[in-house]
Amino acid sequence: MIEAIESRDSTYAGLFVVAVKSTGIFCRPGCPARMPQRKQMEFFPGPKQALKAGYRPCKRCKPTASKDALPPQVEKLKELIEENPMQRVTQKDLKEIGIDPSTARRQFQRYYGMSFHNYQRSQKLGSALQALRSGESVLNAGFDAGYDSASGFRDAFKEVFGAAPSEARQQDCLLASLIESPLGAMLAVADERALHLLEFVDRRRILTEIDMIRKDLKSVIVPGSNSVLSLCEQELGDYFAGTLEEFKVKLRPAGTEFEQTVWDELQRIPYGTTLSYGELGERVGHAKAARAIGRANGANKLAIVIPCHRVIRADGNLSGYGGGVWRKKWLLEHEQERKQTNLFK
């Protein structure tokens, strides 16, 4: 492992991480940061163990990024789509910018869980749906989306959205985006009005939650971005940097009346502080309903922005957390540390 670190061999990425005792930071193999002395190195099987030991992730190699850091070829592909969502990127286009098409397809599938072709199509059809709902004609929307025939556009549109383009004005569309964080990738889902989902991608319930949102809102979800998702990503970045304590992004959590009451109260817990399940129960008028309070916390689909991580047991035990207790510990320590730092400023 020492030899892999000193030779900056990135082929070992994913097998272990190295922490540096003198800086309190951990990295993936191949990191371009300054080489630590051997006596300062400490090794862990993965980011989870390093975080639990109190180390912080390196900002250069991003060792907590999902499925390794975004490969350069995937980054280029993503930039191509974002610059012009309606552009049809061909194999010839990829070769002209120095990307091997077969390698790009494999890497894109590995990172996003769908092919580059499907990602492109979803982006185009999502944009076409927005255009149709803004009053654009079916013919123009299909042409702008890169379809040569109305029938081809209609068939593709119906396959994704379950409705013909002419019925699009009644079809809601949610956009989904991956957001990297020091604790791993998060999936954010929003419409133009509010954020509906923000979860760590490895949470067990995430597929169930996505399905619930689809059914509740009678909507479809496609890859993309909008002003709500952009603000969410910006505010999360500021939160993890320690410069933001209160989120402004608009939220629209779906739940029962009791759950909504609990979630409203969660947002009143000050940054850098905690509350017991019993205390939270008293605040919502159900002092003896600690279990129901726990279930409402677990049903929260908006991690961090609705801070269910700030609720702990009366004896100080962190108890459970949908994203993993290790993340809950990290978030609480991060907030308390930043709060202390701000007090001394």
Instruction: Please name the residues in contact with 12: beta carbons below 8 A apart, sequence gap of 6 or more.
Output: 1, 4, 29, 30
71, 65, 53: which is closest to 184 by C-alpha? 65
- For residues 185 and 66, is the Cβ–Cβ distance under 8 A? yes
CA 128/CA 325 separation, integer angstroms: 41
Burial tier of 30 (Cβ tally within 10 Å: 0-12, 13-18, 19+): middle
- For residues 153 and 122, is the Cβ–Cβ distance under 8 A? no
For 258, phi and psi rounded to 5 degrees?
A: -65, -45
From first CA to last CA, the distance across the chain in angstroms is 41
CA 140/CA 147 separation, integer angstroms: 10
CA 304/CA 332 separation, integer angstroms: 11
Task: Quickly list DSSP for 183-198.
Answer: T--EEEEE-SS-EEEE
337, 340, 270: which is closest to 310 by C-alpha? 270
Instruction: Please name the residues in contact with 204: beta carbons below 8 A apart, sequence gap of 6 or more.
Output: none
Task: Point out the residues that are catalytic.
Answer: 308
With tokens 């459970």, the residue in question is 320
For 87, phi and psi rounded to 5 degrees?
A: -70, 135
Which H/E stretch holds residue 86? Answer: none
